[in-house]
Structure 1
Amino acid sequence: MSVERQILTGPTVRPLEHRERIDWHDHAVHQLIHPLSGVLRVSTARGSWVVPPNRAVWLPAGVPHAHQANGPTEMRSLIFEVAVRNEPTVLVVGPLLREVIRTLSEDPDLTAEHRHHLEQVALHQLRRAEALPLLLPAPADPRLVQLCDLLATDPADERSLRELGRQVGASERTLSRLFRAETGFTFPQWRAQLRLHHALHLLAAGRPVTRVAVDCGFRSPSAFIEAFRTVFGSTPGRYRDG
């Protein structure tokens, strides 16, 4: 993996087209990335996060990362000299923080004093913001990588770990152990997280909730709605429409 050091000197606004990718890079400063619209997939060596408009991802200085847009996306970025988190973290963005990010990133007429005060408000909000366990860990073992790629291609694949193991050349017991060791998740937990990540992309494209439930492999729309509400604090329909 080739990592480019990008120099950030202030807030940025970057429109991204559907599936447009920003390749691996890092920064010497701490960065907050927030999609004002659209959905971003943010990847680090640990795995990937799906970041919708009511979320942001905190990236500490020196952490290599890459982005990919799902749907037309407007990416806002702020930089900070002070760290509020020690590792990449997805945070809830409330109305106040959202407006501060918007103002800092798009208003060129802010005085230095006004900008400083807004940055202090942003830091205060970030320290209080709820952190969400939305990481989809990336394994390293070639057999797990192959298995995870199969499921990423078709999250609705219902095959058991034993059946998938036959295709990748490993036993169910071996794969189960590797999942825990390399991702910190059991196989069912990892697959559930993958399906929710995929659901965010489909909802961002305007798909009906019942169709998303089927395409992501949930046993029923009600099961999908409950799983989505538990993780994201909103029903999928409200998320899609908002």
Structure 2
Amino acid sequence: MPVPRQPVPRQPARHQPASRQARKAPPGVTSHVWPSGGRHLWPSGEISPPQVHDRGHLVYAAGGVLAVHTARGTSIVPANRVAWTPAGFTHRHRAHGDTDMRIVFLAPSLARLVPDRPAVFLASGLAREVLLTLTGPRNYDGTAPGHTRAARSRLLRVLVDELREADEQPLHLPEPHDDRLRALARMLYENPADTATLAELGRRTGASTRTLSRLFRAELGMTFYEWRTQLRIHHALVLLAEGHDTTRTAYACGWANPSGFIAAFTDVIGTTPGRYRAGHR
């Protein structure tokens, strides 16, 4: 199961200010919070409580791997990726490996320039440096003067411009709603190595191949095989971050051999599993 499925309420009756919510860090989490962002150091396996913010926010994992869960699905945020959650979306975070999570809130004037749904973007070198600057020590520990409002506004605009130029990444795994798709998804969440065909899975869930194919396209906007590949890549990112080697990860995620896994992983993530794993040691 790549990311445990947690019950998430659709939306609280009232929004609390983002800064008040962010202060309530789970036990074991070291947090620094300020009005425009925050930094949380998460031990592996830590899960935040469900929360919702009045402003949309970007999250970046300077170390480890972060999962962002919403009612729309799950986004995996490995190194060099940035996840966007719009305002009003109930969400929770989970750390895979010890994770250094950085958060930047966007004002509505900037939030309207990015998608109105959860998304994951490739982080350019410039975007990464801006994120680290906006969430670095000078924001919270008093060791250096903080940024002026004008300087922060300029940095935020550079960051949003970089994300608008970046490719959106296929790392958001949409959540099915049809009961037949949910039953199928549950089986593959629990066993990503299952190599059953769509016809075989259909027999287990009581739906025809044609019906399931139509539902995947209509609800999730992709084919079954595209969805399953994303599910397996999600699981692989988690296993690699937790220290598993390429061969073990390949078989645990359903690839017949490591070479097929390496090719698929590199195509989606942009680097080999070995290099990715080395960056998380």
Specify if TM > 0.5: yes
Structure 1 stretch 160-169 or stretch 26-35: which is displaced more?
Answer: 160-169
Q: Superposition pairs for residues 195-234 of structure 1, below 5 Å?
A: 195-234=232-271
Aligned to 1:134: 171
Percent identical across equivalent pairs?
A: 45
**8 Å contact kept, 1:29–1:79:** yes
How far 1:14 moved relative to its partner? Answer: 1.1
Equivalent residue letter for 2:119: T
Structure 1 stretch 120-129 or stretch 217-226: which is displaced more?
Answer: 120-129
Determine if the alignment matches structure 1 residue 235 to structure 2 residue 272: yes
Determine if the alignment matches structure 1 residue 22 to structure 2 residue 52: no
Structure 1 stretch 110-119 or stretch 129-138: which is displaced more?
Answer: 110-119
Structure 1 stretch 20-29 or stretch 213-222: which is displaced more?
Answer: 20-29
How far 1:6 moved relative to its partner? Answer: 4.2
Q: Superposition pairs for residues 1-242 of structure 1, below 5 Å?
A: 1-4=9-12, 5-8=15-18, 9-81=35-107, 82-83=110-111, 84-86=113-115, 87-106=117-136, 107-108=138-139, 109-112=145-148, 113-242=150-279
Structure 1 gap segments, 5+ residues each: none
Counterpart-to-counterpart distance in 2, 1:135 and 1:127:
17
SS in 2 for 1:174: helix
SS in 2 for 1:21: coil
Note the alpha carbon deviations across 1:210-232, whole angstroms, 9 max, x for none: 11111111122111111111111
- Let me know the Cα RMSD of the aligned residues: 1.8
203 and 6 in structure 1: CA distance in 2 versus 1, 3 angstrom threshold: farther
**8 Å contact kept, 1:44–1:65:** yes
SS in 1 for 2:146: coil
SS in 2 for 1:53: coil
Counterpart-to-counterpart distance in 1, 2:243 and 2:251:
15
How far 1:148 moved relative to its partner? Answer: 0.6
How far 1:2 moved relative to its partner? Answer: 4.8
Counterpart-to-counterpart distance in 2, 1:116 and 1:179:
41
Equivalent residue letter for 2:77: V
**8 Å contact kept, 2:46–2:94:** yes
Note the alpha carbon deviations across 1:86-125, whole angstroms, 9 max, x for none: 2322111122222221221122332314433332332332
How far 1:145 moved relative to its partner? Answer: 0.8
